[in-house]
Amino acid sequence: MNLISEVIDQSRKIVIKIGSNVLSDDRGAVNRDVLHNIVEQVNTLIKEDKQIIMVSSGAGICGVGAINKWSRRGDMNYKQALCAIGQVELMMAYKEYFGDYGIHVGQMLLTKGDLQDTHRTLNIRNALFTLVDEGVVPVINENDSVSVDEIKIGDNDTLSAHVANLWNADALIVLSDIDGVYNKDPKTRQDAELIEQVSDIDRLLEEIDIGEKSSFGTGGIATKIEAARLVSQYGIPMILLNGKKSDIIKQALSGQETGTVFTGRQ
């Protein structure tokens, strides 16, 4: 058993974050096979007595797929309109796929203000505990249609870290389109080397190159590393895996696939 499989195996409460790049295909539409496979894996984890909260990006790309226009419009109001449309599509897909296993989903759309207000945070926490205790899988996203720059969390990596902290999760799994953190951007540099274990985040940042932000994802690798820092303040480990690979969480659990694990200690 390696450290990643050990962390997943020993975690009962797991937050799983799915990036836009994972859910989009080459043409920028939603990759339903990938989403279906992730839901199937979550069902397997639940059968193994684990509790799961999902944080899912992808409303924007679902919106483009649904309405088939505005994909190139840069104006904020159109982006927000696309997210409003796509969020429904996204949840319909989750509802359908989880429904195959008799599992209900519950949607929560959060903004930065929700996480800054103690009273609201407590309500979110109570709602999450109730949903999970009742066997429902919460699917959380940033409320993009009301979030303009000043009040934005900005990326779901940070949101998933806050959710992991306030739910007292045992682990945060971030699914992206790369195998983990590399010493340089693996998309542009063929000689990039995977870093499988990180215990000192500051040292990591001194040692690696961080490329450009992606066209769909808003965060890039930097926000994933900062998410790892946020959860490490609560002693929670974070695992970065390639969500585009079929059965990735199951394979990581059985030690057949690897990624990057941030050990959760400061």
Amino acid 166 reads L
177 binds ligand ADP (CB under 6 A): yes
Q: Which residues 3-42 are close enough to bind ligand ADP by CB under 6 A?
A: 19-22
Shortest spacing between CB 139 and ligand ADP, in angstroms: 16
> Which residues, other chains included, contact 245 with Cβ-Cβ below 8 Å and sequence gap of 6+?
251, 257
Q: Which residues 194-233 are close enough to bind ligand ADP by CB under 6 A?
A: 208-211, 214, 216-217, 219-221
Residue 126 or 246: the one with the smaller Cβ distance to ligand ADP is 246
185 binds ligand ADP (CB under 6 A): yes
Judged by CB under 6 A, the residue of 94, 167, 182, 262 near ligand ADP is 182
Shortest spacing between CB 179 and ligand ADP, in angstroms: 8
Shortest spacing between CB 93 and ligand ADP, in angstroms: 17
186 binds ligand ADP (CB under 6 A): yes
Shortest spacing between CB 251 and ligand ADP, in angstroms: 18
86 binds ligand ADP (CB under 6 A): no
Measured CA to CA, the distance from residue 79 to residue 143 in angstroms comes to: 12
CA distance readout (Å), 158 to 142, 170, 174, 185, 220? 10, 17, 11, 20, 11
58 binds ligand ADP (CB under 6 A): no
Residue 132 or 194: the one with the smaller Cβ distance to ligand ADP is 194
Residue 129 or 226: the one with the smaller Cβ distance to ligand ADP is 226
Site residues, ligand ADP (CB under 6 A): 19-22, 176-178, 181-182, 184-187, 208-211, 214, 216-217, 219-221
